[in-house]
Protein backbone atom coordinates (compact mmCIF):
# COMPACT_ATOMS: atom_id res chain seq x y z
CA UNK A 1 0.00 0.00 0.00
CA UNK A 2 1.33 3.45 -0.89
CA UNK A 3 0.42 6.63 1.00
CA UNK A 4 1.57 10.23 0.94
CA UNK A 5 1.93 12.16 4.17
CA UNK A 6 3.85 14.35 6.58
CA UNK A 7 5.78 12.99 9.57
CA UNK A 8 4.25 14.57 12.69
CA UNK A 9 6.25 12.79 15.36
CA UNK A 10 8.90 10.12 15.82
CA UNK A 11 10.00 8.03 18.74
CA UNK A 12 12.87 5.57 18.95
CA UNK A 13 11.95 1.93 19.40
CA UNK A 14 14.62 -0.44 20.65
CA UNK A 15 18.14 0.15 19.44
CA UNK A 16 17.60 0.27 15.71
CA UNK A 17 13.96 1.09 14.97
CA UNK A 18 11.54 3.97 15.36
CA UNK A 19 7.84 4.70 15.18
CA UNK A 20 6.56 7.64 13.18
CA UNK A 21 3.10 9.22 13.07
CA UNK A 22 2.20 10.29 9.55
CA UNK A 23 -0.64 12.64 8.59
CA UNK A 24 -2.25 11.43 5.36
CA UNK A 25 -5.39 12.49 3.53
CA UNK A 26 -7.35 9.86 5.42
CA UNK A 27 -5.98 10.41 8.90
CA UNK A 28 -2.94 9.67 11.03
CA UNK A 29 -1.07 6.40 10.58
CA UNK A 30 1.46 4.89 12.93
CA UNK A 31 4.34 3.29 11.02
CA UNK A 32 7.28 1.23 12.26
CA UNK A 33 10.55 2.13 10.53
CA UNK A 34 12.87 -0.83 10.90
CA UNK A 35 16.58 -0.21 11.00
CA UNK A 36 16.04 3.56 11.07
CA UNK A 37 19.28 4.03 12.94
CA UNK A 38 21.09 2.46 10.00
CA UNK A 39 19.16 4.07 7.18
CA UNK A 40 21.21 6.77 5.53
CA UNK A 41 20.77 9.30 2.72
CA UNK A 42 17.42 9.74 1.02
CA UNK A 43 15.20 7.29 2.82
CA UNK A 44 16.60 8.46 6.16
CA UNK A 45 15.60 12.07 5.61
CA UNK A 46 12.19 11.01 4.32
CA UNK A 47 11.23 9.61 7.72
CA UNK A 48 12.45 12.66 9.67
CA UNK A 49 10.15 15.08 11.42
CA UNK A 50 8.09 17.28 9.03
CA UNK A 51 9.21 15.37 5.92
CA UNK A 52 6.55 14.96 3.23
CA UNK A 53 7.03 11.65 1.49
CA UNK A 54 5.51 8.70 -0.29
CA UNK A 55 5.54 5.68 2.00
CA UNK A 56 5.23 2.12 0.80
CA UNK A 57 3.83 0.25 3.80
CA UNK A 58 2.45 -3.16 4.76
CA UNK A 59 -1.08 -3.70 3.42
CA UNK A 60 -2.53 -4.50 6.81
CA UNK A 61 -2.04 -3.21 10.30
CA UNK A 62 -0.26 -5.45 12.77
CA UNK A 63 -2.21 -6.72 15.77
CA UNK A 64 -0.87 -3.79 17.72
CA UNK A 65 -2.41 -1.35 15.25
CA UNK A 66 0.56 -0.05 13.30
CA UNK A 67 1.95 -0.46 9.79
CA UNK A 68 5.45 -1.50 8.75
CA UNK A 69 7.48 0.60 6.34
CA UNK A 70 8.85 -1.09 3.23
CA UNK A 71 10.37 1.78 1.27
CA UNK A 72 10.01 5.54 1.21
CA UNK A 73 10.59 8.31 -1.35
CA UNK A 74 10.93 11.92 -0.18
CA UNK A 75 8.69 14.52 -1.85
CA UNK A 76 9.57 17.64 0.16
CA UNK A 77 11.88 17.68 3.17
CA UNK A 78 11.70 21.39 4.16
CA UNK A 79 15.42 21.42 5.01
CA UNK A 80 15.55 25.20 5.46
CA UNK A 81 13.09 25.01 8.32
CA UNK A 82 15.95 23.87 10.51
CA UNK A 83 17.80 27.15 10.05
CA UNK A 84 15.48 28.78 12.56
CA UNK A 85 14.84 27.63 16.12
CA UNK A 86 11.51 29.44 16.25
CA UNK A 87 10.38 27.94 12.92
CA UNK A 88 11.05 24.43 14.26
CA UNK A 89 9.19 25.27 17.48
CA UNK A 90 6.21 26.56 15.52
CA UNK A 91 6.19 23.55 13.19
CA UNK A 92 6.24 21.30 16.29
CA UNK A 93 3.24 23.17 17.67
CA UNK A 94 1.35 22.69 14.39
CA UNK A 95 2.17 18.97 14.47
CA UNK A 96 1.02 18.64 18.10
CA UNK A 97 -2.28 20.39 17.40
CA UNK A 98 -2.99 17.90 14.61
CA UNK A 99 -1.82 14.90 16.63
CA UNK A 100 -4.07 15.70 19.58
CA UNK A 101 -7.20 16.72 17.67
CA UNK A 102 -9.99 14.41 16.68
CA UNK A 103 -9.60 14.71 12.91
CA UNK A 104 -12.89 14.89 11.01
CA UNK A 105 -12.96 12.53 8.06
CA UNK A 106 -14.09 15.02 5.46
CA UNK A 107 -11.62 17.80 6.15
CA UNK A 108 -8.42 15.79 6.60
CA UNK A 109 -7.13 16.47 3.05
CA UNK A 110 -7.56 20.21 3.74
CA UNK A 111 -5.72 19.89 7.04
CA UNK A 112 -2.83 18.15 5.28
CA UNK A 113 -2.80 20.91 2.68
CA UNK A 114 -2.83 23.60 5.35
CA UNK A 115 0.10 21.99 7.17
CA UNK A 116 2.12 21.57 3.96
CA UNK A 117 1.62 25.22 3.06
CA UNK A 118 2.55 26.40 6.54
CA UNK A 119 5.70 24.23 6.55
CA UNK A 120 6.63 25.65 3.17
CA UNK A 121 6.24 29.28 4.29
CA UNK A 122 8.13 28.54 7.52
CA UNK A 123 11.04 27.16 5.53
CA UNK A 124 10.91 29.96 2.95
CA UNK A 125 9.93 33.10 4.88
CA UNK A 126 7.89 35.63 2.87
CA UNK A 127 8.03 39.38 3.20
CA UNK A 128 4.36 39.91 4.06
CA UNK A 129 3.87 36.76 6.03
CA UNK A 130 5.82 36.75 9.26
CA UNK A 131 5.81 33.80 11.65
CA UNK A 132 3.20 35.21 14.00
CA UNK A 133 0.83 35.87 11.13
CA UNK A 134 1.40 32.37 9.82
CA UNK A 135 0.74 31.00 13.29
CA UNK A 136 -2.59 32.77 13.54
CA UNK A 137 -3.65 31.72 10.03
CA UNK A 138 -2.93 28.11 10.98
CA UNK A 139 -4.78 28.40 14.28
CA UNK A 140 -7.92 29.97 12.90
CA UNK A 141 -8.13 27.91 9.75
CA UNK A 142 -7.54 24.60 11.49
CA UNK A 143 -10.08 25.56 14.16
CA UNK A 144 -12.71 25.96 11.47
CA UNK A 145 -11.62 22.72 9.74
CA UNK A 146 -11.97 20.91 13.07
CA UNK A 147 -15.52 22.20 13.34
CA UNK A 148 -15.00 25.27 15.53
CA UNK A 149 -16.00 28.10 13.23
CA UNK A 150 -16.33 31.45 15.03
CA UNK A 151 -19.46 33.45 14.20
CA UNK A 152 -17.94 36.38 12.31
CA UNK A 153 -21.05 37.71 10.59
CA UNK A 154 -22.41 40.47 12.83
CA UNK A 155 -22.78 41.72 16.38
CA UNK A 156 -24.73 38.96 18.12
CA UNK A 157 -26.98 41.55 19.76
CA UNK A 158 -27.71 44.36 17.27
CA UNK A 159 -26.63 42.79 13.92
CA UNK A 160 -24.06 45.52 13.19
CA UNK A 161 -21.82 44.12 10.41
CA UNK A 162 -18.61 46.06 10.92
CA UNK A 163 -18.36 48.08 14.14
CA UNK A 164 -15.31 50.30 14.45
CA UNK A 165 -14.32 48.48 17.63
CA UNK A 166 -15.64 45.23 19.01
CA UNK A 167 -15.26 42.55 21.64
CA UNK A 168 -14.81 38.93 20.56
CA UNK A 169 -15.97 36.36 23.08
CA UNK A 170 -13.88 33.18 23.03
CA UNK A 171 -16.46 31.15 24.97
CA UNK A 172 -19.45 32.20 22.86
CA UNK A 173 -17.48 32.25 19.61
CA UNK A 174 -19.11 35.51 18.50
CA UNK A 175 -18.55 39.25 18.80
CA UNK A 176 -20.35 42.30 20.20
CA UNK A 177 -20.04 45.93 19.18
CA UNK A 178 -18.99 48.52 21.77
CA UNK A 179 -22.54 49.45 22.74
CA UNK A 180 -23.62 45.81 23.20
CA UNK A 181 -20.37 44.58 24.73
CA UNK A 182 -20.36 42.09 27.56
CA UNK A 183 -16.85 40.69 27.69
CA UNK A 184 -14.22 39.38 25.31
CA UNK A 185 -11.06 40.37 23.51
CA UNK A 186 -11.06 43.98 22.37
CA UNK A 187 -10.20 44.45 18.71
CA UNK A 188 -10.49 47.04 15.95
CA UNK A 189 -12.52 46.32 12.79
CA UNK A 190 -9.36 45.43 10.85
CA UNK A 191 -8.72 42.40 13.08
CA UNK A 192 -12.30 41.17 12.52
CA UNK A 193 -11.84 41.53 8.76
CA UNK A 194 -8.67 39.43 9.00
CA UNK A 195 -10.50 36.71 10.95
CA UNK A 196 -13.26 36.70 8.32
CA UNK A 197 -10.66 36.38 5.58
CA UNK A 198 -8.85 33.48 7.26
CA UNK A 199 -11.89 31.40 8.15
CA UNK A 200 -14.19 32.13 5.20
CA UNK A 201 -12.10 32.63 2.06
CA UNK A 202 -11.04 29.92 -0.38
CA UNK A 203 -7.86 28.17 0.65
CA UNK A 204 -5.78 29.73 -2.14
CA UNK A 205 -6.41 33.20 -0.70
CA UNK A 206 -5.90 32.73 3.03
CA UNK A 207 -2.19 33.55 3.11
CA UNK A 208 -2.62 36.80 1.24
CA UNK A 209 -4.06 39.82 2.99
CA UNK A 210 -2.94 43.11 4.46
CA UNK A 211 -3.30 43.98 8.12
CA UNK A 212 -2.37 47.14 10.03
CA UNK A 213 0.15 46.86 12.83
CA UNK A 214 -2.33 47.88 15.52
CA UNK A 215 -4.66 45.02 14.55
CA UNK A 216 -2.04 42.29 14.87
CA UNK A 217 -1.84 41.82 18.64
CA UNK A 218 -5.60 41.37 19.22
CA UNK A 219 -5.77 39.06 16.20
CA UNK A 220 -2.88 36.90 17.44
CA UNK A 221 -4.30 36.78 20.95
CA UNK A 222 -7.74 35.78 19.68
CA UNK A 223 -6.40 33.06 17.35
CA UNK A 224 -4.28 31.39 20.01
CA UNK A 225 -6.91 31.54 22.75
CA UNK A 226 -9.76 30.46 20.47
CA UNK A 227 -7.97 27.30 19.34
CA UNK A 228 -6.69 26.59 22.85
CA UNK A 229 -10.20 26.91 24.26
CA UNK A 230 -11.65 24.40 21.82
CA UNK A 231 -8.87 21.81 21.85
CA UNK A 232 -8.49 22.23 25.59
CA UNK A 233 -4.99 20.87 25.84
CA UNK A 234 -1.59 22.09 26.91
CA UNK A 235 1.00 22.28 24.14
CA UNK A 236 4.60 22.22 25.25
CA UNK A 237 5.79 23.43 21.84
CA UNK A 238 3.51 26.47 22.07
CA UNK A 239 4.85 27.45 25.46
CA UNK A 240 8.39 27.09 24.18
CA UNK A 241 7.60 29.08 21.05
CA UNK A 242 6.08 31.95 23.01
CA UNK A 243 9.06 31.96 25.34
CA UNK A 244 11.59 32.40 22.57
CA UNK A 245 9.43 34.74 20.49
CA UNK A 246 8.44 37.32 23.11
ZN1 LIG B 1 -24.16 45.52 18.84
Distance of CA 86 to the CA centre of its chain: 15
Residues 6+ apart with CB under 8 A from 239: none
Q: Indicate the pTM of the whole model.
A: 0.95
DSSP letter at 228 equals H
Burial of 188 (0-12, 13-18, 19+ CB in 10 A): middle
Please give the pLDDT value at position 173.
95
The full set of domains in the chain, from first to last, is 2-77 (2.40.50.140), 90-245 (1.20.1440.120)
Q: What is the pLDDT of residues 20-70, one digit of tens each?
A: 999 999 999 999 998 876 666 456 789 999 999 999 999 888 888 899 999
Question: What is the 181 CA–ligand 1 centroid distance (Å)?
Answer: 7
Q: What is the pLDDT of residues 152-209, one digit of tens each?
A: 999 999 999 999 999 999 999 999 999 999 889 999 999 999 999 999 999 999 999 9
CB-based neighbours (< 5 A) of ligand 1, an ion: 155, 157-158, 160, 177, 180
Q: What is the pLDDT of residues 127-150, one digit of tens each?
A: 889 999 999 999 999 999 999 999
Please give the pLDDT value at position 223.
98
Question: What is the 184 CA–ligand 1 centroid distance (Å)?
Answer: 13
CB 55 within 8 A of CB 69: yes
Amino acid sequence: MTIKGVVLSQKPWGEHDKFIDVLTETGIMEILVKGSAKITSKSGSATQLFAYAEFDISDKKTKKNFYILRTVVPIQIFYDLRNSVSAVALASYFAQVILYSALPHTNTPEILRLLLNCLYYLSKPQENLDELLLKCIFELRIASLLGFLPDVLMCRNCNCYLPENLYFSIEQGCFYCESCKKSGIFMPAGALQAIRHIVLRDFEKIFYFKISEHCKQPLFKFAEEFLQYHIDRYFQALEYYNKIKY
